[in-house]
Amino acid sequence: MLAGDRGSVVWRKSSHSGTDGDQDCCEVAMFPGAVGVRDSKRSDGAQVMVTADAWRAAIALFLAPDANGRGHV
């Protein structure tokens, strides 16, 4: 993605962000075969791109129960 293309991408923020004055959140955008991640407070700043497979693996790990059988969310 080129810097000039940033406005044409649809970024999504968690429905849990922005509650009680808490603005700390990241946003994600889907690309063919990849996922972009950025800081919601710095939408014109740096972005991290990961493959779609890496994103799915990270989400699966995040949702997996911890050693005590509790979920991370």
Range of the domain at 38: 3-63
Residue 68 lies in a domain: no
The pair phi, psi for residue 35, each rounded to 5°, is -130, 135
- Kindly report whether the global pTM for this prediction surpasses the value 0.85: no
Residue 14 lies in a domain: yes
State residue 51's pLDDT score.
97
State residue 7's pLDDT score.
57
E strands, 22-72, in order:
26-31, 34-39, 47-51
Residue 44 lies in a domain: yes
Residue 71 lies in a domain: no
Q: For every one of its 73 residues, what pLDDT tens digit does the chain have, with 9 covering 90 and above? A: 444 455 578 999 877 666 655 667 889 999 999 999 998 888 888 899 999 999 999 989 888 888 888 876 6
When computed from its CA atoms, the radius of gyration of the chain, rounded to whole angstroms, is 14
Quote the number of domains for the chain: 1
